[in-house]
Structure 1
Amino acid sequence: MKYLYLVLFGLMLFNCKEEKQVVNLTADKIISKSIEKAGGKAFDNSVIRFDFRDKFYVARRDKGQFSLIRMFKDGNDSVFDLLTNSNFERFINNSRVILEDSLKAKFTASVNSVHYFSVLPYGLNAAAVNKTLLGEEQIKEKNYYKIKVTFNPEGGGEDYEDIFVYWVDKEGFNVDYLAYSYNEDDGVGTRFRKANNERYVNGLRFVDYNNYKTEHNELELFDLGKAFEENKLKLLSKIELKNIEVELLNQ
């Protein structure tokens, strides 16, 4: 009996320790674990190339400096967009184009958006990102941490007012679902995305997405996980990265 009590006491201590660890798992820690699972610091020093729809993209990240590139054909013209830490420039047939501020902002946002989504959850530990743990939620019989993400005006980009929700798998710490609200010139609304086709290229995780919408924007952003669970969302498009290549720098 003496040894039985010792064993039971040990189990109680172990369970208390496990419970304490769960309680202390903050939104920042969850996202950090998710980033690490996806490739972690290797993203910081890499060159990533891929095709998305009819355009070719290149992202070079090296010791805090980045160059995000988009190239495509527009009729007979070759367009080269370059976004860096400090500026955006467009070249048509190798000649630099002078852009109005409104167009520069539009092109900056569109280039940054594709590169941003291509490497998620990398980038969610930036200084301008605010993360809040909303709790836990079950989707399709899997348990997830549900995390709200907002952005500061300073450093948060043109669309800093957009709000995101990420569902992070409690066991594997992968981002399996995300949702966001937007307010743009062509309207307001929400989107819900389901990650699929997970693959690792040179140690970095990439996924494609099924992109869903609501029928009449009648659902709140934070309810989209439940709506997907209940098959209330409509498939809008597929977001697929093709021909991914990864070169790791400073190895």
Structure 2
Amino acid sequence: MKNYILLLLIAVCFSCKNEKTTENISNTEVSNTKLTADDIINKSIEISGGEKFKQSSLKFEFRDVYYQALRKNHEFLLVRILVKDNDSIFDMVSNVGFERYDNKDFVKLEDSIAKTYEASVNSVHYFSVLPYGLNDDAVNKILLTDEHIKGKDYYKVKVTFNENGGGEDFEDVFVYWFDKQSFKLDYLAYSYNEESGVGMRFREAYNERYVNDLRFVDYNNYKTKDIEVELGELGKAFDNNQLELLSKIELENIEVQLINN
């Protein structure tokens, strides 16, 4: 099974034409007293693995589902593998769009269903490598007022997305809290508007580990009972122990291979 998956992903990913990129994340130490949102996010990405994310093959499990991500410069392939008995469903998101395979057979889906599956795959992969991805072209960043949470000082950045390139959930709004000393991403909050309902979530990072120089964390996932609380105020609500633990977001069996040009 593992060999079949690996061969399939390699065949799909590297059948595309390789492209070289001149885009670089600055490795310069941030020393200005007045930092911009870009400064903070650049530094956070750098200490979390930086350029190595762009040349990587990742594997992990999340809630008994297999995930793989291949990134090589501007090319990417994000995969979810659902295994039941002797059948395997492959959901794939790449530069060319979304595709589903039942074992080796291509599955034709209605556009609305395909978009739902694509958003689901994107979501897990998006959260798995944060803050990587926050410099994408569709991302808009606004620096908010610093905040104090659980005895530490944090930079606070609001993120929105352009409709063009922002994905199915481009209307979602995120807030990120970066430790002012380490620049690591410790907390995030987001609002969502889906068919299943609207709401907000607040996540607390824990279980930090580096796998082949890339940083990964798990999250405590919180909700609020007070619908009057605004998204940007969830940090204060957490600091005051006013949020309710809903679930845990845990990545298991993480494997990382770095890819050479």
Common fold by TM > 0.5? yes
AA aligned opposite 1:219:
V
- Confirm or deny that 1:50 pairs with 2:60: yes
Query: C-alpha offsets along residues 181-239 of structure 1, whole Å, 9 cap, x if unaligned?
Result: 00000100100000000000000000000000011433110100000000000000000
2:32 aligns with 21
Structure 2 CA distance for aligned equivalents of residues 133 and 110 of structure 1: 28
1:98 Cα offset (Å): 0.3
Match for residue 9 of structure 1?
A: none
Residue 139 (structure 1) aligns with: 149
Q: For 2:91 and 2:124, locate their aligned partners in 1 and report how far apart those are by CA, in whole Å.
A: 13
Bigger radius of gyration: 1
If the length of structure 2 is used for normalisation, what is the TM-score? 0.86
Q: Which residue of 1 aligns with 2:40?
A: 30
Residue 76 of structure 1 deviates from its aligned partner by 5.4
Compute the TM-score of the two structures, normalised by the length of structure 1: 0.90
Task: Calculate percent identity across the aligned residue pairs.
Answer: 62
Secondary structure of 1:155's aligned partner:
coil
How many residues get paired? 231
How much has 1:102 moved relative to structure 2? Answer: 0.5
Instruction: Using the TM superposition, give the Cα deviation of residue 63 of structure 1 relative to its aligned residue in structure 2, in angstroms.
Output: 1.5
**Which whole-Å CA distance do the structure 2 matches of 1:239 and 1:217 have between them?**
23
CA distance in 2, matches of 1:76, 1:63: 35
Of residues 49, 68, 73, the one that matches 1:63 is 73
Which residue type is aligned with residue 218 of structure 2?
Answer: D
Does residue 204 of the first structure (1) align with residue 220 of the second (2)? no
Matched, 1:116 2:126: yes
Alignment RMSD? 1.2
Q: Which residue number in structure 1 is paired with residue 138 of structure 2?
A: 128
Deviation (angstroms), 1:108:
0.3
Is this contact kept in 2: 1:190–1:217, CA < 8 A? Answer: no
Deviation at 1:78, TM superposition (A): 1.6
**Please, which runs of 5 or more residues in structure 1 have no aligned partner?**
1-19
User: Is contact 1:146-1:167 (8 Å) kept?
Assistant: yes
Q: Which of residues 179, 204, 208 is equivalent to 1:194?
A: 204
Deviation per residue, 1:76-103 (Å, 9 max, x gap): 5321111101111111132110000011
In structure 1, the partner of 2:8 is: none
Contact 1:60 / 1:68 at 8 angstroms: preserved in 2? yes
Residue 115 of structure 2 is matched in structure 1 by 105
Q: Which amino acid aligns with 1:237?
A: S
Show structure 1 runs of 4+ deviating over 6 A. none
Amino acid at match of 1:124: L
Residue-by-residue CA offset, 1:43-78 (whole Å, 9 max, x unaligned): 000000000011000000002100001101246532
Could you list the runs of 5+ residues in structure 2 that have no partner in the other structure?
1-30
